[in-house]
Structure 1
Amino acid sequence: MENQVLKAIKNRRSTRKYKEDQITEEELQTILEAGIQAPTANNLQPWHFTVIQDKDMINHISDKSKEIMVKSDNEKISNMGKSPVNIFYDAPTIIIVSGKEDVSSSLVDCSAAIENMLIASESMGLGTVWIGLIRFFFTLTDEVEKLNLPEGYKPFYAVSIGYKSNENTQGPSKRNMDVINYIR
């Protein structure tokens, strides 16, 4: 019998189509708590979470990101910048995850927090996608200041969260199992 944690890990998929309904405050707090419970080097807990549920702000961040993406020498990135698709896939909630700049393990610790949030969301029936394209927005110092991050924190990634649209029917993706060697 498979336990619920393993089930959530195996069922989690990147969700790119959401219902318009906002997640509940209880769901949001559960997701944030899961992030805070992530493993962290020396228990430094170098993360900070910025929750954005203002649709205009989410769209603004997407638009600013895409303005920079269009200028990329990478054709794929440039084409994504030209796409009408919002980089957050119109999710009603995004969480920007930032880490302390003076902690060498910040990126790894924040990534662990993100994974916890993704799995917790899946366990509650919510859809998520880890957003790396927001890095283009993070190059705009004046815009990042509007996030009101604590001093000494650097934003890394965002997570889009919402109720899965009925159109999200993709099954499990094939995984390469030939990635293990044993020394016994």
Structure 2
Amino acid sequence: MIVTETLKIIKQRRSIRSFKDEQIKEEELQAVLEAGLYAPNAGDQAWHFTVIQNQEVLDRLNLAAKEVAAQMDFEHLRALGNNEKFNCLYGAPTLIIVSGNEQAPIPLEADCAAATQNLLLAAESLGLGSCWIFFVLLAFNAPQGSELRKLLKIPGGYKPYTSVALGYKKAAAVQAPDRKPNLITYIR
């Protein structure tokens, strides 16, 4: 079997939901962001990264997202929204929101997802913990959603599509479980 450093990083990356209080180093942040910028895209690089390291703002996003989730029909999200102890960022000291230009001619969800995957893999290669977070994006559907966009300086015409929580891992990541069988079909 072929094994390279990149393939090892892909296989060992796990979602981390327990972070140390310590903020990541600036050079680590910049390396992760640069990896995101080099993601494949439809040729327009129509994304924007917003980095949040202000604890008050992170707390505000968490509360706004929970407020929306508490009103949702989906029982699991509603339960999380009503859980006082739940923090959708799991205590991560850094959040990167990946927004896409809604006027781009190609569906931006794919471009933003590719950039997000690069952020996650770069974080793992540096020994950082990371977690792809959807829940926090609910904050932009809260009554204060427009105000949050302004606070975070998300460019006009851009929509937050994905986000990544980053920080130092509190504990070692667990071994990846075996992949499900029958997920590949060959036509040769």
Superposition TM-score tier, normalisation by shorter sequence: over 0.9
Q: Which amino acid aligns with 1:33?
A: E
Q: TM-score, normalised by structure 1?
A: 0.95
| 2:153 is the counterpart of 1:148 | yes
1:101 paired with 2:105, answer: no
5 Å matches for 1:1-150? 2-41=3-42, 43-83=43-83, 84-103=85-104, 104-139=106-141, 140-150=145-155
Distance between the aligned counterparts of 1:117 and 1:178, measured in 2? 29
Residue 157 (str. 1) matches residue 159 (str. 2): no
**Equivalent-residue separation in structure 1 for 2:57 and 2:38 (angstroms):** 28
Length-normalised TM-score, structure 2:
0.93
CA RMSD of aligned residues (A): 1.2
Q: CA deviation at 1:136?
A: 1.2
Paired residues of 1:134 and 1:157 also in contact (CA < 8 A): no
SS at match of 1:128: strand
Residue 171 of structure 1 aligns to which amino acid in structure 2? Q
Q: Is the 8 A contact 2:69 2:138 kept in 1?
A: yes
Q: Distance in 2 between matches of 1:105 and 1:31?
A: 24
Partner of 2:178: 174
Q: Is the 8 A contact 2:16 2:173 kept in 1?
A: no
1:129 CA displacement: 0.4
Q: Give 2:187's aligned residue.
A: 183
Residue identity over aligned pairs, in percent, reads 42
Q: Which runs of 4+ in 1 moved over 4 A?
A: none
